[in-house]
Amino acid sequence: MTGTRTDPGTPSSSSPPAPRPARPVAKRRVGRRTRTVLRYALLLLIMAISVGPFLWQLSTALKGIGEDIYASPPRFVPADPTLGNFVRVGEVLPVWGYVWNSVRVALATVVLNVVGASLAGYALARLRFRGRRAALGVFILALLVPGEAIMVAQFLMMRSVHLNDTLVAVVLPGMVGALNVLLMYNAFLAQSTQIDEAAMIDGANAWQRFTRVALPSVKGTIAVVAIFAFMGAWDDFLWPLIVLSDPDYYTLTIGLNYLKGTFVGDQRLIAAGTIIAVAPLILLFLTLQRYFFRGVNEGAIKG
Amino acid sequence: MSAHVLLRDRRSESTTAGVRGGSPERRSGPRMQGAATPWLFLLPGLAACLIFNIYPFLNTFLLAFTDARTISPGTFTGLDNFARMADDPRFWLALRNGALYVIGVVPPLVFLPLLLALLVRDKGPGIGFFRTVFYTPVIASAVVVGLIWTWLLDSRGLVNGTLEALGVLKDPIPFLTDEWLLLASAMVVTIWKGLGYYMIIYLATLGRVPEELHEAAQVDGAGAVRRFFVVTLPAMRTTMTLISALSAVAAFRVFTEIFILSGDTAGPGGRDVTLVMLIREVSAGLNGHVGYGAALSLVLFGLTLGLLLSVLRLQTGRKDPR
């Protein structure tokens, strides 16, 4: 997040560009330097706590069969790093099949959420019609009901239409998240009305105003919705656990739980499996994080 | 993220009503849309919410008063399920664990992310990098996080291994096999995973604190610490309330962390069971008591809604200085 937005509040709150003449300049400079050192020391400490566990897992995944993973003191750098565990985990379990299932579930969820949430959010924020408040109420109500509190009824519903043990059943309950609708609603509300007005005078209909005027200016929020939807689907555990029993349809999280149960003995394999599950997500997030943080601020600052 | 959505929702509404009174869609002039257009826009989202959220919710309500099994619809039994709950020791354990979870998890999740947000608020070399890094645990699945921490807290894992190598310990700490230590470990995992999420919510709010307030306080001779208490903290009050509501609700919904850390057993003797674990357990299988499961689900819903409403009421009852 480096200055992508014109954002008057954030950047200079404690580091004004020029020292104020009224204050003793030299003294403040020194104070600021120690503060900077302290700040970065803290940042590094928290970074160690945040990513340390991931790195330890990666290190375990890279240790070969011959290396003692219980060595005392613990060894962070593998003596002879190997990718063998990633190959082995694919041999003992159809991990790559699980990955493929997760990919399909996550992509379907992203597409359905981005399309459904931006359409609904646009209508709620930008179109005038009777029943708008009631529709908004439905989404807010849906947001208030925790998924865990309706999973039993959702399971019965999927069973009654014979969708249990399909990937469709994994996708359906999360196909348009109420939170995403409200995120898009807020983004569209915050837009300037003038361009919209101009487009209207030019005779653009609602669909044209949506696709040509409104949509292009909420890319940040769309990125947030897409990332949330992808993460939500990729990381979900409880619902797939309930709705899937055929190993052919296992998603990666369910497969990992199974892997843990089957190979309690080999920590390296479990580690390799978790790295396979988390690495794509981290890469995706690193690629999109600029848009993500921009999108988060886009919503907030205009509010 | 739901925090600032809800938060802003109210404000945006008032903006629409007041400042935007003259916006095109509020004018009485000719409208460029048919009456059906808005509903076509709403159709996918609204249908999904009604079919997959609202309908199951209503169904849960009905099921809770029946003795339905997975394979049979069951008959109306009034409050029997709730009476059964009162006699179910596992239910009381689940409530206890939920309450402990709220106590253990909410304060750290309200204060630590604010500290993180303040640390990464101001630009500086690498700040964007740190923001991303702090958010990483949020990205990872609770299953992955649970497995990583299982390995860290294992009797031969990194934490015990390091402490033993340092000579602090002789025998490993039984993080994963002791009733209380397992619960505490799950809390640590929840906090660790949640910090980045709430940090982002704070960051969004921090961006809205008027700069003039800081400058005025600075001119008055307030140091950084004093400015924090006089300017930043009051401005954060709404967000802090919302974050306590959100994290408290999440505490009652906890499942994966304990499920993974305990190896599917809910701890020694099942004593670390949570409401969600219980719901899944009683409803599972061909002969699952879905009626009882639904009744438990209603309790979960009531608890989360009650927590949300009471915290929000607490907040609106106070006068916000802003």
C-alpha span between B310 and B307 (Å, rounded): 5
Q: B310 falls in which pLDDT band (50, 70, 90)?
A: confident
A171 interfacial to chain B (CB closer than 8 Å): no
> What is d(CA A49, CA A29) in angstroms, rounded to the nearest whole number?
30
- The letter for the amino acid at A116 is G
Match 């959100």 to its residue by tokens: B246
List chain B residues with CB under 8 Å of A178: 49, 53
Res B322: pLDDT: 43
Structure token digits, residue A21 = 């003449």
Dist. CA B134–CA B199, nearest whole Å: 9
Contact B71, B287 (CB under 8 A): yes
Q: Which of A2, A10, A12, A13 to mutate to test the interface with B (most CBs of B within 10 A)?
A: A13
pLDDT at residue number B256 = 94
What confidence tier does B318 reach under pLDDT thresholds 50, 70, 90?
low
Can you say whether the dihedral through the CA atoms of A261, A262, A267, A268 is positive or negative? Answer: negative
Domains, chain A, with CATH or none:
28-82 (no CATH), 95-292 (1.10.3720.10)
Residues in chain B: 322
CB contact under 8 A, B290 and A117: no
Q: How many Å apart are CA A151 and CA B276, to the nearest integer?
A: 10
Helix residue ranges, H only, chain B = 2-17, 37-49, 55-63, 80-86, 89-121, 127-139, 142-153, 158-165, 179-206, 211-219, 224-227, 233-235, 237-252, 256-261, 275-283, 290-317
CA distance A1 to A16: 19
Share of chain B above pLDDT 90, in %: 52
Write the single-letter amino acid at B241.
Answer: T
Q: Among residues A220, A157, A31, which one has the least CA distance to residue B56? A: A157
State the pTM of this model. Answer: 0.85
Residue B319 Ramachandran class (φ > 0 left, ψ -120 to 50 alpha, else beta): beta
Residue B264 phi, psi (nearest 5): 70, 5
* Mean local confidence (pLDDT), B46-53: 94
Query: How big is the CA angle at B250 (ends B246 and B252), to the nearest 5 degrees?
Result: 125
Q: At what angle do helices A84-92 and A267-302 cross, to 10 degrees?
A: 100
Q: Could you say which of A15, A116, A297 has the minimum Cβ distance to residue B204?
A: A297
CA A251 to chain B, closest CA, distance in angstroms equals 12
Contact assessment for residue B137 and residue B195, using Cβ atoms and an 8 Å cutoff: yes
Question: Is the distance from CB of B276 to CB of B255 less than 8 angstroms?
Answer: yes
| Selection from A14, A5, A91 nearest residue A298 by Cα | A5
pLDDT band for position A263 (cuts 50, 70, 90): low
HSE at residue A1, side-chain half, CA atoms within 13 A, is: 28
- Cα dist. B180→B94, B262, B266, B273 in Å? 14, 12, 12, 12
Query: What pLDDT does A298 receive?
Result: 64
B232 against B262, higher pLDDT: B262
Task: Spell out which residues of chain A touch residue B39, defining contact as CB-CB under 8 Å.
Answer: 123, 129
Q: B133 to chain A: which residues are within 8 Å by CB?
A: 47, 50-51
| pLDDT surpasses 50 at B210 | yes
In this predicted structure, which of A159-173, B24-38, B49-63, B94-108 has the lowest mean pLDDT? B24-38
Highest mean pLDDT among A84-98, A112-126, A255-269: A112-126
Tokens of B157: 């894992």
Phi-psi region of A244 (alpha: psi -120 to 50; beta: other; left: phi over 0): beta
Taking CB atoms and an 8 Å limit, are A50 and B136 in contact across chains? yes
User: Using CA of residue B312, residue B315, residue B319, residue B322, what is the dihedral sign?
Assistant: negative
Q: Picking from A3-12, A281-290, B211-220, B291-300, which range would have the lowest pLDDT averaged per residue?
A: A3-12
**Which of B37, B134, B207 is nearest residue A50 as measured by Cβ atoms?**
B134
Nearest CB neighbour to A127, from listed B38, B156, B284: B38
Residue A98 identity:
Y
Of A9, A73, A260, the CB nearest to B147: A260
**CB-side neighbour CA atoms (13 Å) of B204:** 28
Q: What is the pLDDT of residues A22-45, one digit of tens each?
A: 554 445 555 778 888 888 999 999
Contacts B15 to A, Cβ<8 Å:
189
For chain B, the average pLDDT equals 84
| Of A44, A43, A51, A46, nearest in space to A278 by CA | A51
Q: What are phi and psi of B76, to 5 degrees?
A: -65, 125
Contact B143 A127 (CB under 8 A): no
Residues 6+ apart with CB under 8 A from B4: A299, A300, A303, B201, B204, B205, B239, B242
Using the CB atoms, write b or e for B89-100: b if 16+ within 10 Å.
ebbebbbebbeb
A139, A150, A188, A193: which to substitute to probe chain B, counting the most B Cβ within 10 Å?
Answer: A150
Within 10 A of B115 (CB to CB), how many other CB atoms are there?
A: 13
Q: Check B42 against A135: CB less than 8 A apart.
A: yes
